[in-house]
Amino acid sequence: MIRKAVIDREAGYRLLTELAGPGTVEGTLTGLDALAPGFADWIVTSLFGGTYQRDGLELRDRQIATTAALTALGGVEPQLDDHVRNSLRIGVEPREIIEVMVHLAPYVGVPKALAGLRVAAAVLRETEGTEAP
């Protein structure tokens, strides 16, 4: 028997608000919805109300995995920036975020790891006054 997927729109919006902070969600989503109507809701509902709601990983582990995946993809710096911020907001330590980027170098390549480090360093400078590597 195939188990039905859990897709909970309200839980998705609550989780995204927890991750991104109050006010951030509406501002970001409103602009995206004006450009591509319905797409923002689909993202929140399917990702944060679906994938993120699954059992098996804690929220911090999902954020570490997401940060690693976005770094590996490359070329998605705005999304990586958001997820580095979200990770910090839920308690992932700056040193852990940096170590994720370093750990990725032999797997995804030094240029992508360096790009990830640049994004993380910029976020850390802004949020904590940390110097860039």
Asked whether the beta carbons of 108 and 80 are under 8 A apart, the reply is no
Domains and CATH numbers, the chain: 8-54 (no CATH), 58-133 (1.20.1290.10)
- Quick: pLDDT tens for 25-39: 888 888 899 999 999
Asked whether the beta carbons of 49 and 15 are under 8 A apart, the reply is yes
- Quick: pLDDT tens for 68-120: 999 999 999 999 999 999 999 999 999 999 999 999 999 999 999 999 999 99
For residues 21 and 108, the model is more confident at: 108
Question: Alpha helix locations (H) across the chain?
Answer: 9-20, 24-35, 39-43, 59-73, 77-89, 94-108, 110-128
Q: What is the pTM of this model?
A: 0.88
In this prediction, residue 38 carries a pLDDT of 96
Residue closest to 79 by CA, chosen among 104, 47, 105: 47
Measured in whole angstroms, the distance separating CA 125 from the mean position of its chain's CA atoms is: 18
